[in-house]
Amino acid sequence: MSLSLTRKFTGGDGSDTTAAVLSLLRSGRQFQFADLILIGELTDSDALFLTSWNSPLAYPVQGTFNPANFSRGKVESKIGVTVASLDFHWRPQITQFTKTIGTANPYQLAQLGQYDNKKFRLWRAVMPTPGDANTLGACEYFGGWVSKSSIQRGEIVFTIDSFLNVLNQKVPIATIQSTSIIPGFTGATPVLVDGETDVPVFEAVAGSNQTIILATALSPSAGKIYGNNKLRYGYVYFLADSSLAGVWSAIGANSDFNAHGGVHYNYIQIYSPLPWPPAPGDKFFVSTQKSPLQSPGSFIYVPAPEQAI
């Protein structure tokens, strides 16, 4: 393998070790490499720290990386703004399938899209002695986001697009008209038609299934039943400590559900089926869709381009 000497190496204490690595390479002494993989953010308790080495490697500026069975494609360096990609094959141990995000195995999480769009970073560590990723540290070899994940026999296959993929993002075309699509993607929008200023938080109750959620409102108005379709076109997002933490789906309709005996629940029908029914007590919030006419990105007196003469 050839190692580009233009890359900067950082030691475990955060110091620049590029010159020391270059000196080691020129000395002809024996040394070894190891891949360090981080999927997720450093602050994410569910982030994956993986290494190709056969024992844990401590790289203090990032963390401790644990042995894992994986392989990857070649990292290419190109001049210009071409967006590179990397194939990453991970073969975690197959464990019991569960119905809680917190205990689900990696194959379940990949099927649910939990790794999609997570940050992916690859470092190449140079070890002057086996297992020492601290002294000379590592160079950042590739970085990007998980653009796609799929399950194959005995492995999870990730496609990683480099950070340059931001150059390929499409810009919404309908931004100067009354039908601006920007409001449709505005997160954490309260039920404005009811004059609320905080997004509503709900608790699922028994009787919910993968496409219908029966729920009690907790805030901003405890026990409130929202009017027919006031939540439509918004989305539900399950909060931490729920069995479906992080799972979300768009809302197709909502109404009042009469459970008899004077008991009423919010009936929320969603577009994408949940992987399993929410457990009673699972909490989630709802963000509604803001009206295009209420968006600062819209100009209500400017017609759409197709309406121009």
Note if the bond before 275 is cis, omega within 30 degrees.
no
pTM: 0.74
- Is it the case that residue 47 has pLDDT exceeding 80? yes
The predicted pLDDT at position 132 comes to 95
Contacts of 252 (CB under 8 A, 6+ apart): 232, 269, 270, 271
Q: Comparing 221 with 3, which gets the higher pLDDT?
A: 221
Domains (range + CATH), the chain: 9-166 (no CATH), 190-288 (2.40.30)
Give residue 9's pLDDT: 94
pLDDT, tens digit, for every residue of 176-235?
444 455 555 567 889 988 999 999 999 999 999 999 999 999 999 999 999 999 999 899
Task: Compute the radius of gyration of the chain from its Cα atoms.
Answer: 25
Q: Write down the pLDDT at residue 173.
A: 47
Instruction: Check if the beta carbon of residue 70 is closer than 8 Å to that of residue 90.
Output: yes
Say whether pLDDT at 291 is over 90.
no
pLDDT of residue 77: 62
pLDDT of 276 > 70? The answer is: yes
Q: Are 289 and 215 contacting, i.e. CB atoms less than 8 angstroms apart?
A: no
Over residues 15-32, the pLDDT tens digits come to 999 999 999 888 877 789
Distance CA 145, CA 187 (A): 21
Q: Which one-letter DSSP state was computed for residue 133?
A: -
Write down the residue that tokens 């990397």 correspond to: 86
Flag the least confident range among 16-30, 58-72, 201-215, 266-280: 16-30
The model's pLDDT over 133-189, given as tens digits with 9 standing for 90+, comes to 999 999 999 999 999 999 998 999 999 998 876 555 554 444 444 445 555 556 788
∠ CA 258-261-265, nearest 5°, is 35
- Contacts for 291 with CB less than 8 Å, ≥ 6 apart: 183, 192
Contact 9, 139 (CB under 8 A): yes
Burial class (CB in 10 A: 0-12, 13-18, 19+), 77: exposed
Ranking 69-83, 166-180, 290-304 by mean pLDDT, the lowest is 166-180
Q: Are 56 and 64 in contact (CB under 8 A)?
A: yes
The per-residue pLDDT for 175 is 46
Secondary structure of residue 27 in the 3-state scheme:
helix
Measured CA to CA, the distance from residue 182 to residue 171 in angstroms comes to 10
What integer pLDDT is reported at residue 301 of this predicted model?
Answer: 52
Instruction: Provide the pLDDT for residue 165.
Output: 62
Give the pLDDT of residue 29.
78
Q: What is the pLDDT of residues 79-129, one digit of tens each?
A: 555 567 899 999 999 999 999 998 999 999 999 889 999 999 999 999 999
